[in-house]
Structure 1
């Protein structure tokens, strides 16, 4: 009988040592929309509109932003596809 109680105690003790607290880590990803110091404007110069019309026929201007260097970030829709175009104040399309 002593062996039975001793065996049961050892088994229960061994099982309780196997049960550990699971450590859960939350890895939350925060998305920040950064405008690169661009500020939204209501209108763009006519030279930019003309340049975009020539480069992308059927373009529709959605939003326009300007930074301190007078570079424009323009959100456009061409044939149902949205994209972003960077230009300077004279309408030259910049590569970014």
Structure 2
């Protein structure tokens, strides 16, 4: 009987120590997305327009946005589907 009580006490102590360790490992991650400003389709560089037509033939540029790093956020529609794609000033696609 003493072994059972001792085993239970050790088990409870181990579980509470593990719970304390787990609760201290929580981290907060905050990501900041660059602010984009809307621009006209004429303000989008030719390299970006060419890359868009090459990657998405028949795509229509609905809206264009640019940030301080000269990265472009393009809202496009292809047939009945809409998508948002990102490009740098040279027409290279970005993953955001």
Shorter chain as denominator, the TM-score bin is 0.5 to 0.7
Matched, 1:49 2:49: yes
The aligned length equals: 62
Larger gyration radius, structure 1 or structure 2:
1
**What stretches of structure 2 of length at least 5 have no aligned partner?**
1-32
Q: Distance in 2 between matches of 1:80 and 1:46?
A: 25
State how far apart, in whole Å, the 1-side matches of 2:44 and 2:71 are. Answer: 11
Runs of 4+ aligned structure 1 residues displaced above 3 Å come to none
Higher helix share: 2
TM-score by length of 2: 0.61
**Where does residue 92 of structure 1 map in the other structure?**
92
Structure 1: tracts of 5 or more residues without a match: 1-34
TM-score (norm 1): 0.61
